[in-house]
């Protein structure tokens, strides 16, 4: 499902989850988030749910680039809901559980996301879902250099062509 949930009075997040209750129990602290939401990501409210998966989430984020990670300023909510309503089937709202083990997370007050360095966050967003073929075994693997190196260490496809 594609979800839109509000955080405080100023921000909302657009994301995707197979099981929204399970997604909420994990929490949202590890997503890159606006600094004003640090240590406040355990308080949220459902705004809208739609039928859809990662491909539709990617379309929404490309049509409406987020302001911070997957978070948007509340002033953009009406336009995003109107667009989603045009091509997605709405789902009934459900009560959302509070993260079961929420506590102050290491990201808050720091990088505002679970990234040790800013370039890690940029790399993760730039390479998400992108694949290339392994030069040894011809299997699709992530284009990230660190993932390629990790795969090549374990690859049984023989030497480079």
pLDDT by residue (tens digit) across 75-91?
999 999 999 998 889 99
Residue 117 or residue 4, greater confidence = 4
Whole-number Cα distances in Å, 84 to 55, 65, 106, 117: 13, 14, 34, 33
User: Where are the domains positioned within the chain?
Assistant: 2-120, 130-161
pTM, 2 dp: 0.64
User: What is the predicted pLDDT for the residue at 111?
Assistant: 46
User: What is the predicted pLDDT for the residue at 141?
Assistant: 86
Q: Quick one: CA dihedral 33, 57, 1, 131, positive or negative?
A: negative
- Whether the pLDDT of residue 12 is over 60: the answer is yes
- Whether the pLDDT of residue 128 is over 60: the answer is yes
Are 31 and 113 within 8 A, CB to CB?
A: yes
User: What is the predicted pLDDT for the residue at 110?
Assistant: 44
- Across the chain, mean pLDDT equals 80
Length of the chain in terms of residues written: 161
Beta bridge partners of 49: 3, 91
């Amino acid at each position: 499902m594609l979800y839109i949930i509000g955080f405080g009075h100023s921000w909302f997040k657009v994301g995707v989850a197979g099981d929204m209750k399970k997604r909420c129990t994990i929490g949202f602290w590890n997503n890159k988030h606006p600094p004003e939401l640090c240590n406040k990501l355990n308080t949220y409210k459902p705004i809208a749910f739609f039928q859809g998966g990662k491909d539709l989430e990617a379309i929404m984020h490309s049509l409406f680039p987020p302001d911070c990670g997957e978070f948007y300023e509340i002033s953009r909510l009406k336009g995003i809901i109107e667009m989603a309503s045009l091509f997605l089937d709405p789902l009934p709202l459900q009560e959302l559980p509070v993260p079961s083990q929420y506590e102050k997370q290491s990201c808050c007050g720091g990088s505002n996301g679970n990234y040790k360095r800013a370039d890690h966050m940029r790399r993760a967003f730039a390479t998400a879902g992108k694949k290339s073929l392994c030069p040894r075994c011809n299997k699709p693997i992530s284009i990230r250099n660190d993932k390629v190196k990790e795969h090549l260490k374990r690859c049984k496809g023989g030497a480079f062509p």
